[in-house]
Amino acid sequence: MADVVNLTIAQFQPKKGDYSGNLKRFEQLFESFMSADPRPDVIAFSETVLTGYFVEGGVRDVALPASTFALDLNRAFRARCTGQVDVVAGFYELHENTYFNSAIYVTLGGDEPVIAHVHRKVFLPTYGLFDEERFVEHGLGVRAFDTRWGRAAILICEDAWHALTATAAALDGAQIIFVPSASPARGAWPQPDEEIRGPASMHRWERLARDRAEEHGVFVALIQLTGNEGGKAFPGGSVIAGPHGDIRARAPLWDEASISLSLDLGDITRARASSPLLADLRTMLPHMLRSLGRAGERE
Amino acid sequence: MKRIAPIVTGTTPPPLALDCELTTEWLVAFLRAEFKRRGFRKAVVGMSGGVDSAVTGFLSARALGAENTIAVRMPYRTSNPQSLEHARLVTESLGMVERTIDISAAVDGYLENEADADASRRGNVMARMRMIVLFDLSAKYRALPVGTGNKTERLFGYFTWHADDSPPINPLGDLFKTQVWELARFLGVPDAIVNKPASADLIHGQTDEGDFGISYAKADAILNWLLTGYTPQEIVAHGFAASDVEIVRKRLGSTHWKRKLPTVAMLSPTAIGESYLRPVDY
């Protein structure tokens, strides 16, 4: 397992519904990212990155099997790059005759892409401006998975708003939790924290990324979509939080941007040694599970 | 033991105060994205001399350039001359392209057959004529009409259906009137426009607040509570006058239809907008 993971997150603005056109742009992005020194081990993109998020019934037009998505990403990568890279990317998935809002973790560069994991979004926002449950089905779980450098997990957007999901991922050994998101900006009122300029919803996201990272001693990479979809603005503001709840990097508002940085996985060890909350939770987990089971049976 | 007062005593609706710099960036980005997606570089904005159209003009000038913003003044013969002057304040301060189209002949040409038309009907004819002008000029200049309606008038149904609300994009439609005023001050809209009472300028001396029977400041605050899910009783318990809450509730509750497309009889399992759903930018 690696000591350091070179991560690039890409805050991308897709053209709505133009899967092929957006994929074509990925060729250029891959080339640009892979020319960096150090080369990234992982490139992470947002939720529904090649189609846009609000497609309503258009899910039926743009959804595709994970294997097809992986092949397309691999072709885009190999068009201009050599070597290997891992990619996290969200997409509308057709799986066993059912539609999902999913994200893939796949290794590109070989003759065939190697899929390590497909996470299917568990918590589908269906309130206010959201209507996901009308168009896709729920994923049924969260798990960590092995990668070339260590262990990771994926939570998609609202998944990360529930404390339990990150808890499950961390208990399952995740060192980095990737959170591909597509979260429209809401709240134009002044914010008390002048360090962070942005809509209220963006502040909430940053707080959340820091809290999840600090509670479990993990890295959290939040990758936001950007652009404007029918009056709903995706503000960007992607962040990478370290295991002390520290913000390592922050992408700008509104615009496309990428951030590359090296994550020292030893930081996880140090954070957990000084604040062993995850170990405490593991010890008490049987009791907590009984509590959860009891609470879950309430009507 | 030292007694400490609570920081807040309960939940309240989202603040109405704006981060004006952020809001401006947000709306400029919105305009640029919509124009790019729709393949237009020029805007036509009906410039009434009021604060909504002035703010829309300022935002359009920032997003597209003043040279790409065509401000159209459309007076009727009974319009307040000051409205025309105030519209010019905006166009001159920004260096916009200005057109003045007097709608009197067109409006009167129709109304001479309808001598009994009351003020409301006459106002609606004027509003619809102004949209005929805007959409026609949009074809002439290959420009996109930009709407100027704010959230308060949309929620009150205080507009002519399929007229003021007909432009395909609107940057102000989610801002209450008091927020438009705040943004206007930030953007540098001339004081004469920001500080005058809002008026549809259909009848001499008419003001919006006079028509409503409540100030925008109170109406916006009450709307903010109602939209957040508080009941009229709860809002009154927070210190608002029951009569004010009733004015707002009644206007809001009686105008939902004005915020919708026409009602279509559904016969199939694939009714557009009911079962067959695709977003506007798909």
**Domain contains B26:** yes
User: What average pLDDT score do residues B139-143 get?
Assistant: 98
Q: State the CATH number of the domain containing residue B145.
A: 3.40.50.620
Which pLDDT value is given to residue B11? Answer: 81
Mutation site for B-interface testing, chosen from A228, A253, A255 by largest number of B Cβ within 10 Å: A228
Check: CB of residue A236 under 8 Å from CB of residue A259: no
Percentages of chain B per state (helix, strand, coil), in multiples of 5: 50, 5, 40
**Domain contains B150:** yes
Which residues in chain B touch residue A231, judged by CB atoms under 8 angstroms apart? 30, 34, 169
HSE, CB side, 13 Å, CA atoms: give it for residue A237. Answer: 23
DSSP A139: P
Q: Give the C-alpha separation, B228 to B220, whole Å.
A: 12
User: What average pLDDT score do residues B130-143 get?
Assistant: 98
Which residues in chain A touch residue B169, judged by CB atoms under 8 angstroms apart? 231
Which pLDDT value is given to residue A197? Answer: 84
Check: CB of residue A205 under 8 Å from CB of residue B256: no
Report how many Cβ contacts below 8 Å link chain A to chain B: 70
Q: Which of A147-156, B162-171, B196-205, B239-248 has the lowest mean pLDDT?
A: B196-205
Q: Give the C-alpha separation, A124 to B158, whole Å.
A: 36
Q: Is A101 exposed, middle or buried (0-12, 13-18, 19+ CB in 10 A)?
A: buried
**Domain contains B171:** yes
Q: Give the C-alpha separation, A231 to B31, whole Å.
A: 9
Give the structural domain span for B100. 20-202
pLDDT (tens digit, 9 = 90+) per residue, B222-233?
Answer: 999 999 999 999
pTM, 2 dp:
0.94
Residues of chain A with pLDDT under 50: none
**Domain contains B243:** no
**A228 and B30 in contact by Cβ < 8 A?**
yes
**Domain contains B74:** yes
Count, residues in chain B = 282
**Domain contains B227:** no
Which pLDDT value is given to residue B203? Answer: 75
**Domain contains B257:** no
Domain chopping of chain A, boundaries = 4-296
Q: Is A195 exposed, middle or buried (0-12, 13-18, 19+ CB in 10 A)?
A: exposed
**Domain contains B142:** yes
pLDDT (tens digit, 9 = 90+) per residue, B1-22?
Answer: 999 988 877 788 999 999 999 9
CA distance B29 to chain A (A): 8
Which pLDDT value is given to residue B145? Answer: 98
Domain count, chain B: 1
Which CATH class, in words, describes the domain spanning A4-296? alpha beta
pLDDT (tens digit, 9 = 90+) per residue, B59-118?
Answer: 999 999 999 999 999 999 999 999 999 999 999 999 999 999 999 999 999 999 999 999
Count, residues in chain A = 299
Q: Which amino acid is at B232?
A: P
Beta strands, E only, B30-139: 42-46, 69-73, 97-100
Does position B202 have pLDDT exceeding 90, yes or no? no
**A16 and B279 in contact by Cβ < 8 A?**
yes
Q: Give the C-alpha separation, B128 to B125, whole Å.
A: 5
Which residues in chain A touch residue B278, judged by CB atoms under 8 angstroms apart? 55-58
Does position B173 have pLDDT exceeding 90, yes or no? yes
**A57 and B278 in contact by Cβ < 8 A?**
yes
Which pLDDT value is given to residue A239? Answer: 97
